[in-house]
Structure 1
Amino acid sequence: MAKTGTQTISRRALLKAVATGGVMSTLGAGAAAVAATGAVEWVSSTRGAPWRRPARAPTVGTFENFLKMDVMLLEDTRFQTIEGFGACFNEVGWLALQRLPSAARDAVMRELFAPGAGLNLNLCRLPIGANDFARSWYSYNETAGDFAMDHFDLSRDDQMQVPFIRAAQRQRPDLKLWASPWSPPTWMKQNGHYAMVPSFPWAPPNGLKPQQVGASGKDMFIQEARYFEAYALYFRKFVEGYAQRGIKISAVMPQNEFNSAQPFPSCCWTPEGLARFIPYLGRQMDDVGVELFFGTLERGDPAMFEAVLAQPEAARYIKGIGVQWAGRRAIPFIHQAHPDLRVYQSEQECGDGKNDWRFARYTWTLMKDFLRAGASAYLYWNIATPNGGVSTWGWAQNALLCVDMATGRHTVNPDFHVFKHLSHYVRPGAQRIDTLSISGFENLLAFRNPDGRIVVIVHNDMNEPQPLRIAIGTGKLVSATLPADSFNTLVI
């Protein structure tokens, strides 16, 4: 079946068949005769009671009246294959987790990464050099003019990033990692500074001078072959250095948010500038067996990506695309034009540091939108922060969990539970399947795992309990009453 879009004709046919009672010919003549067997696993989360198994189990029956269902699962209409779920390894995250007693920290890492334990994180991101949740700004080579990378030094990462990743690997040895820079070394940039714009009024000053201010839509990386060659070698040294530490990098992206001038480490590129650099990077990555994805795209303009693909020397190296923030508006167009291209949602919107139920509801909306658009991977942003979540440049942001740096105690945030409703149950290799609303209930996602089980994630956004009846093409009808304002996962 097609990987994206919906089967419009078959969906209309099904709706007509349901309305006329002729759905049996659509599903198969023997569907209603199939006996309903096996229990349905159900987990529900509300603001005051996360991750509970309701006392009253769902009922499982067979189709009796096709007009008395809310949603039909169309198992034969399958979309993208899911590669996994993850988050980003940041220095401040490990700084926070180090405040936990060792037993508590081990338990947290198990809940985050161990297969079958909690979030099941299996596909994560790390920065190449500093990002806005580094303790301070740095690159691996600030020796100006060192085009041979003789002074490349990865030792800074041995303090925080490497121990953080190794702790995750102890729980999940097959953890998959990809990486991208927020900023190149400063001597490779037009303005000679990590940042692109001055700090906001409420944030600590970043030292950017007026003549160093950059802008979106301009190439702030020096557009010369020797700089491209040196920067591609910089990526290679990073990949090889991590491999020497027992950490394999599976993919890289050339720049985080390449069209955004930020008051923290950042670097703007034009699509044309990236198209010039990607062949240099692609050749180096091919030599070390690492995939190259385009990204990360943070704008809802697919033309930025198409401009790069239009250059054959760049296009031949691109195996996928990383998309975040407003880039979700570009995914449907990219997916339609390039249905076999892998799409990673590369960073969830970061929130405001309140870590409240309101934002958890928005997290669900983001996950639903990206996955419906065709993303094969979904990544949260901060794994952990100190309470308040303030970045080193002054923006309070959300995290899966927060640590009280004075007491060494941690809090699991609402986003964690909402994220877990998908990542705990949807396995790598699962395929998203189509759903057909009969009664107007569309606030859900459905997947078929490699073992054949169906996972349905549903948000009841009403302020009262909501009955839900899910019909499956095998003849099953699963019924449950969802608690008010709740997230639910049913495994069938």
Structure 2
Amino acid sequence: MATSASVRWISTTQHEPWRELAAPSLGEVRGMPSVFLQTDDPQQRIEGFGASFNELGWTSLAHLDERDRDAVLRQLFEPGTGLNLTRCRMPVGANDFSTDWYSYDETPGDLALEDFSIEHDHATLVPFIRAAQRHQPELTLWASPWSPPTWMKVNGHYAAAKASPLSPGVDNGIRDDQLGAEGTDMMRLDDDVLAAYAAYFGRFVDAYADLGIPVTMVMPQNEFNSAQIFPSCTWTPEGLAAFVRHLGPAMAARGVDVFLGTLERADDGLVEQVLVDTDAARWITGIGAQWAGKRAVPYLHRHHPDLAIYQTEQECGDGRNDWRLARHAWFLMKHFLLHGATAYMYWNMSLLRGGVSRWGWAQNSLVVVDPDTRTFEFTHEHYMLQHVSHFVAPGARRIPTLSYTGHENQLAFRNPDGSLVIVVQNDLAEEMAMSFFIDGQALEVTLPADSLNTLVVAA
């Protein structure tokens, strides 16, 4: 098969990541293609790909020497090098992968926020983000809290649950009378408290803007139905709507978007119940979904095409970073992007080997750091994400595909420069021949067994 400079082919298997293969030329159609690219029907515009800036990401990278740490960040952020991350997430205060609980104002009753300060972040999140900006100056961020300051909550505690099987032996100090529950508002809904919390968001955005770090979108709560051992806060849709009525104007004054999320339940009705409040809905420009929320996304995209959809946190695994979870990562990317997502977020960028959080949950990451040898490695999920994010530029449009042979394991995109990107998985234990029909020509390949592949067709 003749090679051609007009087509590039990258393939990853469990034992051979990111291997460049001899690319075929586009040729005449010799039979029924496996997949038709519907290039005349472009779909959603892709904003970008990202991950979350978490404190344990930076403290893990601190075990590396400066040269290796810079190499990791270059791979994650530098345009044209590795993942090309451009649109990332950060917490408002502590999250489950912080070093411990904190908020920006823990002074009880401080409605005027006289003691507000992001000083805590200068040890971890600020240097982490600034290090990324050195490689990607166009980096933008969005943010959500895991818990409001404790004095704004009805239980007066940062968490909502005791230890679970995911975190055995972890004691967060919560009392039985402080436990939260799904379907309740753990946030105090007094207007003066909600107004103060909206101002808290504003002070956060302003403080980061003063540091040259743009936060351009916020969501009111991470996983608003989940009562967790770590920082968390449950809300009802009515409670969220009441808060968004305060949050929306505060963010609009700063040119910051408000998305509704993050939705972690397969229940689109939770979103609809907020949107029926027209005074809240007028401020909402998008929806964020993660975990089981993925099953609500097809409906939400179909019935609210005017709202952007973000996949806000890739399911985060068990700390083993194995091939099994990497294959699942591809399924998740495919599902969200096929159903209208405009941005896709991985979760932890970097963790120590084992990936255990302050609250005892082991999770996966793009980079694993060994603190004993002071070395690092990129994980299977890193390469899975790179197969899409390295080649699909911000501003690309997803291209629908059609298969009369039943093959539905691919994504396709048209970049702003006109190039086409096809990402396709062969999930069989043997090679698989495939052909793609592209504007009257055929692209024929034989995919390695159990592989993810990216084919780039130049404009």
TM-score (normalizing by structure 1) = 0.91
Query: In structure 2, what residue type is equivalent to 1:157?
Result: D
2:19 corresponds to:
52
1:20-419 aligned within 5 A: 39-54=6-21, 56-65=22-31, 67=32, 69-200=33-164, 202-419=168-385
Give distance in 2, aligned partners of 1:228 and 1:392.
Answer: 29
Q: Any idea what SS the aligned residue of 2:79 has?
A: coil
Give distance in 1, aligned partners of 2:9 and 2:30.
Answer: 23
Contact kept in structure 1, 2:111 and 2:196, CA below 8 Å:
yes
Post-superposition CA distance 1:83-118 (Å, at most 9, x none): 000000000000001111101111110110011110
Contact kept in structure 1, 2:435 and 2:444, CA below 8 Å:
yes
Q: Any idea what SS the aligned residue of 1:85 has?
A: strand
Post-superposition CA distance 1:305-326 (Å, at most 9, x none): 1111111110110011111111
Give distance in 2, aligned partners of 1:191 and 1:405.
Answer: 38
Contact kept in structure 1, 2:140 and 2:213, CA below 8 Å:
no
Q: Any idea what SS the aligned residue of 2:240 has?
A: helix
Post-superposition CA distance 1:252-310 (Å, at most 9, x none): 00000001111100000000001111011111111111111111111111111111111
Give distance in 1, aligned partners of 2:80 and 2:23.
Answer: 22
Contact kept in structure 1, 2:4 and 2:25, CA below 8 Å:
no
Give distance in 2, aligned partners of 1:275 and 1:60.
Answer: 53
Query: In structure 1, what residue type is equivalent to 2:235?
Result: W
Give distance in 2, aligned partners of 1:411 and 1:37.
Answer: 32
Give distance in 1, aligned partners of 2:303 and 2:25.
Answer: 42
2:432 corresponds to:
466
Q: Any idea what SS the aligned residue of 2:26 has?
A: strand
Q: Any idea what SS the aligned residue of 2:401 has?
A: strand
Give distance in 1, aligned partners of 2:39 and 2:254.
Answer: 39
- Bigger Rg over Cα: 1
Q: Any idea what SS the aligned residue of 1:81 has?
A: coil
Post-superposition CA distance 1:396-440 (Å, at most 9, x none): 100001101122100110000000000000111111111111322
Query: In structure 2, what residue type is equivalent to 1:480?
Result: V
Give distance in 1, aligned partners of 2:229 and 2:190.
Answer: 25
Give distance in 2, aligned partners of 1:132 and 1:37.
Answer: 48
Q: Any idea what SS the aligned residue of 2:44 has?
A: strand
Q: Any idea what SS the aligned residue of 2:43 has?
A: strand
Which of the numbers 399, 403, 414 marks the counterpart of 1:448? 414
Give distance in 1, aligned partners of 2:133 and 2:174.
Answer: 38
Query: In structure 2, what residue type is equivalent to 1:276?
Result: A
Give the superposition deviation at 1:76.
1.0
1:12 corresponds to:
none
Give the superposition deviation at 1:464.
0.9
Give the superposition deviation at 1:39.
2.2
Give distance in 1, aligned partners of 2:278 and 2:36.
Answer: 43
1:491 corresponds to:
456
Contact kept in structure 2, 1:61 and 1:476, CA below 8 Å:
yes
Which of the numbers 469, 479, 490 marks the counterpart of 2:444? 479
How many residues align structurally?
Answer: 453
Query: In structure 2, what residue type is equivalent to 1:378?
Result: Y
1:16 corresponds to:
none
1:21 corresponds to:
none
Give unpaired runs (5+ residues) of structure 2.
none
Poorly superposed stretches of 4+, deviation over 6 Å: none
Give unpaired runs (5+ residues) of structure 1.
1-35
CA 1:174 to 1:203, structure 2 compared with 1: closer, same or farther past 3 Å? farther
Give distance in 2, aligned partners of 1:442 and 1:314.
Answer: 38
1:6-17 aligned within 5 A: none
Contact kept in structure 1, 2:4 and 2:23, CA below 8 Å:
no
Give the superposition deviation at 1:142.
0.4
Contact kept in structure 1, 2:159 and 2:174, CA below 8 Å:
yes
Give distance in 2, aligned partners of 1:332 and 1:262.
Answer: 27
Post-superposition CA distance 1:113-161 (Å, at most 9, x none): 0111100000000000000100010000000000000000110000000
Contact kept in structure 1, 2:92 and 2:144, CA below 8 Å:
yes
Q: Any idea what SS the aligned residue of 1:100 has?
A: coil
Give the superposition deviation at 1:37.
8.2
Give the superposition deviation at 1:337.
1.1
Residue 434 (structure 1) aligned with residue 413 (structure 2): no
Give the superposition deviation at 1:38.
5.5
Query: In structure 2, what residue type is equivalent to 1:328?
Result: K
Q: Any idea what SS the aligned residue of 1:415 has?
A: helix
Q: Any idea what SS the aligned residue of 1:136 has?
A: coil
Give distance in 2, aligned partners of 1:116 and 1:256.
Answer: 31
